[in-house]
């Protein structure tokens, strides 16, 4: 039983991309992004706006930078996300687009 548990934990930690977001909830992060972030990005970048994250000269290069950018946008538009919400958003963006592993 103990071995099984260790195995599961190991698998979970391998699957989660960046260590920084390991306790974050990417699903609720997606809901926040859908609601607050997409329309503006879509206006500047077209489509669903997601090409802002995948463009060749994207600004974000690390998971730390990603979290910092989420904080910046959050502050800029006055959303007042809580710390854990910022982590959830960054985790979702990382899992879906950036795929940083540390």
Assigned token pair, 33: 């992004």
For the bound state, the minimum distance from the C-beta of residue 24 to ligand HEC, rounded and expressed in Å, comes to 13
Among 2, 3, 5, 44, binds ligand HEC (CB under 6 A): 44
Locus of tokens 């103990």: 2
- Quick check: 70 binds ligand HEC (CB under 6 A)? yes
Among 6, 34, 48, 58, binds ligand HEC (CB under 6 A): 58
- Quick check: 73 binds ligand HEC (CB under 6 A)? yes
- Quick check: 68 binds ligand HEC (CB under 6 A)? no
- Closest to ligand HEC by CB, 24 vs 37, is 37
Locus of tokens 């800029």: 76
Contacts of 59 (CB under 8 A, 6+ apart): 65, 69
Q: Burial-class residue 96 by CB neighbours within 10 Å (0-12, 13-18, 19+).
A: middle
């Amino acid at each position: 039983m103990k071995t099984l548990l260790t195995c599961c934990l190991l698998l979970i930690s391998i699957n989660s991309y960046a260590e920084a977001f390991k306790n974050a909830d990417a699903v609720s992060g997606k809901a926040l992004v859908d609601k607050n972030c997409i329309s503006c990005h879509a206006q500047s970048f077209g489509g669903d706006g997601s090409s802002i994250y995948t463009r060749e000269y994207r600004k974000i290069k690390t998971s730390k930078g990603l979290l910092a950018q989420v904080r910046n946008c959050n502050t800029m538009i006055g959303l007042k996300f809580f710390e854990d919400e910022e982590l959830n958003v960054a985790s979702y963006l990382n899992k879906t687009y950036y795929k940083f592993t540390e």
